[in-house]
Amino acid sequence: MFLPEKMARISILVSRKDLDLAVYSLLETGSFQPISRLGEGKVSERARVMIPTISEAINRLEQYIDLIGVSSQLEAVDSDSYLEGGGWIEISSSLLDSVREIDKRFDELYRRARDLQERISITEPLASIMRILGDIDIDLGILIHGKILRLYIAVISRERISRIIDSISKYIDLYMVLEKTISEEESLLLIIARDDGEKVREIFRQEKAREIEIPKEYQAIPKTLVEMLEMELNEYRRELNLIRERARKIYDEMARDFIRVYAGLRTAREALYLLARSRDIGRCAVIEGYIPKSRLDRSLDILRDRLGDRATIEVKEISRLERNLDEEPPSKYSIPKRLETFKMISELYGPPSYSEVIPVFISAVTFPLIFGLMFPDLGHGLVLLIAGIMLYSVFGRNNRSYRELGELVIIISIAAMIAGLLSGEFFGPATPVSSYIEKLYEETPLHKPPLAIPIGKETSQNAAGEALMLLIFISLRIGGATLTLATLLGLVNSILERDYEKIFARDLPRFMIFLSVSAPVFAYQTIETVGASYGYMAMIPGVESPSILTEVFRIMLYAGLAWILASEAIIRAIEHGIRDGIRSLANGFVEFFDSLIILIGNTISYLRIMGIALAHVAIIIAFYQPVKVLIDQGGFVSIPAWVLYAVGNLLDIGLESIVAFAHTLRLHLYEMFGKFYQGIGRPYEPLRPPMIRIVIERRERGS
């Protein structure tokens, strides 16, 4: 569960005349991923040469498919359909011949359709612009092609209009500017200025304006031009529809053969990819690759059923502790559907290696937790939840990336809402709902929201200080737990890789020092005792040990630091002699200071949880305090004050949600993942099973 699925290395030895059958059998398993290196021999070379041609043929058929509009039918290959031949090279060549016959039927239609689509793509934007200028019934050609004065037409972002006008007026005489609205973001700008086209076009490029040019063959009267362009567009579309209908009729006549050829090409490309990784060893050939352990028995049954005693199959399960492999085994891992959204966080690093702990299960807990504590507001979380639902259901309807982002936003917004309940905040700590939440807590043994920060309230200074200390305590505990866990996982990964030098020289002592620094925030329940413990561990004069536990923590800390300092020198002295060991002390000093800086910097870095939570309250209070008097008066007088407060909340949601997300991401990718996760694995991408039945005629292969 926490590691990629175990893989088995499969090696198949077959005679050259049975190689094509072995390839088909491996495709049938639907689980086989070949080794990454290219094969050897004539068959492998011919397969490599043929793959680009096959891919090009598939692309051409897919262009015809797009023209016809029948993509949904392509997976439905008749059960009676099949391809036969003496081998994959022969079958592929036969399929390419069939593609040439299909080209004869569709190529001319496709070229005409592509030409029409290009004309439509050019004409349609011009027509849409002329519709906006459709009330102009004068010939603009004199100005568009003028020698002294010139008319420039451009589409530009509305926020850049003033800049573009100022820039043009600085260099040339500007006589008239007319703006026509296209949308909320864009406007159409008509500028009459002295002819200096190069300078104006340079300004357009700088401001990302799109100049509209009316071709000379068109009459430059917008009202008339709109009608002409509409007629052309209608004619283009009518002709394109006729071509599509003609292509569809041709397809209906040969649908069975078309699907058969397309399915055959897709299957042949997979087979050639596998052949290109086969190794010729005289009269025999070897195919090597990987099958997940969970699918091994079923795959072996298929291979034995197809090949019988004509192949020698060697299966070797790849141990996590195995070293000196010729290549990294692929990583296949599955996670619960509800955690899929957190996969995108770890994949920012890359896929896990075969013997590497999968971080998704950890980030699924820590990511919402840290974000929620940075963004603790029930109301703000509710707005974020609505945004997440919109991303998931509206924008993500046809876009997987938006859907995954929407899922993540929904999860972290729920965490923010829970933290908001614990903080007693609903659009800040000053709204009626916030007061109601606080009253509910008064009836419980807690008496107040446990994470409340009484800034800006009429409470004692001690209450604010206690809340601050609590946030520091929580931040240090989260940091201590995640950093210690991360270094422990780094140690586990090194054990799986059997990198004993790394285990001894770095991972074990680093785990010891992180554990020693993290332990006080869990061993003691008051921030004062924790502070005294850290002061004693840092050997600050006059600070005494709170208990015997602190003595243990200090011994662990300095033993770990001393271990890091001397470990590499000890290893070098054992392997190469005392002289080399002494020379390695310099590296030990570098590692010592690096570990010390990482220890201090990473631990303190988690205090950003407290800092951003405080900033959240402070920003809301900054909008609340100026209008507090008007809000307290109630009635109509308070309405403008509440409007201003609402605007402040919206600004805070937009700004702080991004800041909290960025810092949460940083704590994971840098502070946590950097200690145990490399993300340099090879994804498991098995060859697709055949789309059509293949009959391999067993023939002797020539040498």
| 10-residue averages of pLDDT along the chain (703 residues) | 86 91 93 91 92 94 88 64 87 93 92 92 83 75 66 82 81 77 80 73 81 74 82 92 93 89 93 93 90 92 89 87 78 83 82 85 90 89 90 82 86 91 81 79 76 58 67 84 88 79 82 87 82 84 82 86 80 74 72 78 84 80 69 66 77 86 89 84 91 78 45
Cα–Cα distance measured from residue 699 to residue 701, given in angstroms and rounded to the nearest whole number: 6
**Amino acid of residue 91:** I
Decide if 411 contacts 341 (C-beta within 8 A).
yes
Burial 640-657, CB ≥16 within 10 A → b, else e: ebeebbeebbeebbeebb
| Structure confidence at residue 702 (pLDDT) | 47
Cα–Cα distance measured from residue 681 to residue 331, given in angstroms and rounded to the nearest whole number: 6
Tokens 């009330």 belong to which residue?
Answer: 135
Cβ neighbours around 5 below 10 Å, total:
16
- The token pair that represents 622 in the structure block: 């900054």
Residue ranges, comma separated, of all CATH 3.30.70.100 domains in the chain are 120-237
pTM, rounded to two decimals: 0.74
Give the N- to C-terminal CA distance of the chain in Å, as an integer.
48
Cα–Cα distance measured from residue 572 to residue 565, given in angstroms and rounded to the nearest whole number: 13
- The token pair that represents 580 in the structure block: 């080399």
> To which H or E segment does residue 122 belong?
helix 88-132
| Domain covering 120-237 in this structure, CATH number | 3.30.70.100
Long-range contacts of 505-510 (CB under 8 A, 24+ apart): 505/564, 505/567, 505/568, 505/571, 505/591, 506/564, 506/567, 506/591, 506/595, 508/563, 509/560, 509/561, 509/563, 509/564, 509/567, 509/595, 510/560, 510/564, 510/595, 510/675
